[in-house]
């Protein structure tokens, strides 16, 4: 519940004025509805009484009937305005919430980033945040407006009709509704939470089935996976069944409450009239107002059915938002300019690694210890070593994605940690061991690195020896399937390399850049990279002769 409240406050902060106006309008709608029905009932009864008494000629018919028309039209208009306003405000608030969650993911720590499973993160961004629309629309605003309308009715009925009628109606509704909702929330909250878990399981398993269906088919596991998917659905179905029942029961209880309150208002009114304490018209007013006030309960019914789902989603979204963002460097001194890069004088940045010790990501097992070396602008250095000796971890650390256990890494004279993120990414690029191309055209995939002219795209494609292959297809408009499908491993690798070249980094880190390529192509690709970036400091995690032969210097890790 605290998470729900926190999310509501976030939404409110985002769209305060629209939501407040919306709340005012929804109160207006309820009040006008009650007034309309109450006034009509009074009007007809009082008119009948006047007619029977022969006083029809002196009875003021015009003001009440004008009021009836005004209330009828005003209510419809207020309702339209209220719906547009609150829905638009809620959608806007959710949109900015979604953006904040995505921003938190994009800026997350490396370890968390690689563990993100598309399906789960997608859930967070779509289903979870969608579930939150009920927080203002179906929970908070109707609750606020409903309680306010009831209290207003208490005052009005107290004065116009009789305190006993007013208390019966309002206390009946408020106490009855509180009991029903309290009881239902206790039943429904855990149920809808579990139903949501089942839905997430269904989703994750279905994505697995679709993405891995060939593997699953070969291993005779496809039917079992389909069964697992449907098992999650069966579990969800059972829970939805129980939830439906709880919701239905609450609905029936609310229906009974409305009937009981209205019947009581009728009976009390009749007794008062028969005792000569009030006029028949006011007894009718009380009864009709009781009927109209039942409307304050209706929207809350669904809210309670969804409460568990909302609370759960709110908790997860809040946790995502609360993830610490990487600390922003504090210093505001100007960064080294292009030409006087640190102490090296050339137009480029030197990379300096001194006494660095690293742990395997997520563990405290040392992989690199006390390593020191320098790469000057324009120089190419290859690091070699068997799988698991920490080549990739070292490159990640230089790129600022992996914390150092000891030592220092500096770029152009500044420690990596001191670089503001945007400047660091502008000056340094890493081609990681596994990079993902996105579905779309080749041009779109490359332009993830930033806006670039077509000619520029062709230039980097030529550097990685991909221009011919791309030209043979549909040129820059050639389609890449989801996860780089349609291109071989080596081609996808070179496209990812071309993408990093578009950044024109001054320090370029390449993690096994020429895999999947034959020796001739591998050498040509490396030549192409160097020609395009003559002054860049190049550091290559190398494992093949073509790469080490290309380097000016080889550094062996053990």
Q: For the chain, give the longest Cα–Cα distance.
A: 115
Tokens 């000569």 map to which residue?
276
Smallest gap from Cβ 143 to other proteins, in A, equals 20
Quick one: tokens of 178?
């509180």
CA distance 396 to 394: 5
For position 325 contacting other proteins by CB under 8 A, the verdict is no
Quick one: tokens of 244?
């439906």
Burial code (b: 16+ CB inside 10 Å, e: under 16) for 206-245 equals bbbbeeeeeebeeeeebeebeebbeebbebbeebbeebee
| Contact criterion met (CB below 8 Å) for 552 and 383 | no
How many CB atoms are located within 10 Å of the residue 106 CB?
8
For position 121 contacting other proteins by CB under 8 A, the verdict is yes
Which residue in the set 1, 5, 13, 77 belongs to the binding site for other proteins (CB under 8 A)? Answer: 77
Instruction: Give me the 403-432 binding string for other proteins, x by CB under 8 A, dash otherwise.
Output: ------------------xx--xx--xx-x
Interaction residues for other proteins, span 528-557 (CB under 8 A)? 543-544
> Stretches 10-18, 105-113, 337-345, 404-412: which one binds other proteins (CB under 8 A)?
105-113
Look up residue 358 and give its DSSP letter.
E
Which residue in the set 1, 9, 61, 454 belongs to the binding site for other proteins (CB under 8 A)? Answer: 61
Interaction residues for other proteins, span 81-100 (CB under 8 A)? 83-84, 87-88, 91-92, 95, 98-99
Interaction residues for other proteins, span 3-42 (CB under 8 A)? 36-37, 40-41
Under rule CB under 8 A, how many of the chain's residues touch other proteins?
164
Which residue in the set 171, 178, 270, 406 belongs to the binding site for other proteins (CB under 8 A)? Answer: 270
Burial code (b: 16+ CB inside 10 Å, e: under 16) for 174-196 equals bebbeebbeebbebbbebbbbbb
Q: Would you say 61 or 179 has its CB closer to other proteins?
A: 61
> Stretches 117-125, 183-191, 308-316, 337-345: which one binds other proteins (CB under 8 A)?
117-125
Which residue in the set 343, 450, 474, 477 belongs to the binding site for other proteins (CB under 8 A)? Answer: 450
For position 293 contacting other proteins by CB under 8 A, the verdict is no
For position 474 contacting other proteins by CB under 8 A, the verdict is no
Smallest gap from Cβ 201 to other proteins, in A, equals 8
For position 490 contacting other proteins by CB under 8 A, the verdict is yes
For position 206 contacting other proteins by CB under 8 A, the verdict is yes
Query: Helices (DSSP H) in 294-427: which residue ranges?
Result: 298-322, 391-398, 421-427
| Angle, alpha carbons 24-30-31 (nearest 5°) | 85
Smallest gap from Cβ 470 to other proteins, in A, equals 12
- Helix or strand holding residue 406 (H, E): strand 406-411
Which residue in the set 108, 289, 383, 411 belongs to the binding site for other proteins (CB under 8 A)? Answer: 108
| Contact criterion met (CB below 8 Å) for 452 and 476 | no
For position 205 contacting other proteins by CB under 8 A, the verdict is yes
């Amino acid at each position: 519940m605290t998470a729900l409240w926190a999310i509501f406050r976030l939404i409110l902060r985002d769209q305060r004025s629209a939501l407040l106006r919306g709340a005012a309008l929804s109160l207006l709608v309820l009040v006008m509805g009650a007034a309309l029905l109450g006034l009509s009932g009074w009007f007809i009864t009082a008119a009948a009484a006047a007619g029977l008494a022969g006083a029809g000629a002196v009875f003021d018919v015009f003001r009440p009937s004008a009021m009836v028309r005004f209330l009828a039209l005003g209510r419809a208009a207020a309702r339209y305005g209220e719906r547009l306003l609150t829905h638009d405000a809620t959608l806007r608030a959710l949109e900015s919430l979604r953006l904040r969650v995505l921003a938190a993911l994009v800026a997350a720590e490396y370890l968390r980033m690689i563990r993100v499973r598309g399906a789960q993160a997608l859930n967070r961004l779509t289903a979870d945040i969608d579930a939150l629309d009920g927080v203002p629309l179906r929970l908070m605003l109707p609750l606020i407006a409903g309680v306010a309308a009831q209290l207003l009715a208490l005052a009005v009925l107290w004065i116009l009709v009789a305190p006993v009628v007013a208390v019966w109606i309002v206390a009946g509704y408020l106490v009855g509704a509180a009991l029903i909702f309290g009881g239902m929330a206790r039943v429904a909250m855990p149920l809808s939470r579990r139903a949501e878990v089942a839905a997430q399981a269904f989703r994750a398993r279905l994505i697995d089935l679709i993405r891995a269906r060939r593997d699953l088919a070969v291993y005779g596991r496809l039917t079992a996976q389909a069964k697992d998917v449907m098992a999650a659905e069966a579990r969800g179905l059972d829970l939805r069944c129980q939830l439906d029942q709880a919701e239905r029961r609450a609905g029936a209880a609310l229906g009974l409450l409305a009937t009981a309150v209205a019947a009581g208002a009728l009976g009390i009114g009749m007794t008062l009239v028969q005792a000569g304490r009030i006029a028949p018209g006011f007894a009718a007013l009380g009864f009709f107002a009781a009927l109209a006030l039942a409307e304050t309960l209706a929207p809350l019914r669904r809210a309670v059915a969804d409460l568990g789902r909302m609370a759960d989603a709110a908790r997860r979204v809040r946790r995502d938002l609360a993830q610490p963002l990487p600390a922003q460097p504090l210093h505001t001194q100007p960064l080294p300019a292009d030409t006087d890069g640190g102490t090296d004088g050339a137009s480029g940045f030197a990379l300096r690694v001194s006494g660095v010790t690293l742990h395997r990501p997520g563990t405290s097992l040392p992989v690199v210890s006390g390593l020191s070396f320098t790469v000057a602008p324009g120089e190419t250095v290859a690091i070699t070593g068997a799988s698991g000796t920490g080549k990739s971890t070292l490159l990640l650390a230089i790129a600022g994605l992996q914390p150092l256990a000891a030592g220092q890494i500096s770029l152009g004279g500044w420690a990596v940690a001191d670089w503001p993120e945007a400047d660091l990414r502008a000056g340094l690029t890493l081609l990681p061991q596994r990079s993902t191309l996105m579905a779309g055209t080749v041009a779109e995939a490359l332009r993830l690195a930033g806006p670039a002219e077509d000619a520029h795209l062709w230039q980097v494609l030529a550097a990685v020896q991909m221009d011919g292959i791309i030209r043979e297809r549909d040129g820059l408009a050639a389609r890449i399937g989801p996860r780089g499908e349609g291109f071989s491993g080596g081609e996808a690798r070179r496209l990812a390399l071309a993408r990093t070249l578009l950044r024109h980094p001054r320090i370029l880190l390449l993690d096994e850049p020429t895999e999947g390529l034959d020796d001739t192509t591998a050498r040509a690709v490396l030549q192409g990279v160097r020609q395009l970036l003559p002054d860049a400091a190049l550091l290559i995690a190398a494992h093949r002769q073509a790469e080490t032969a290309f380097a000016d210097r080889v550094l062996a890790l053990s």
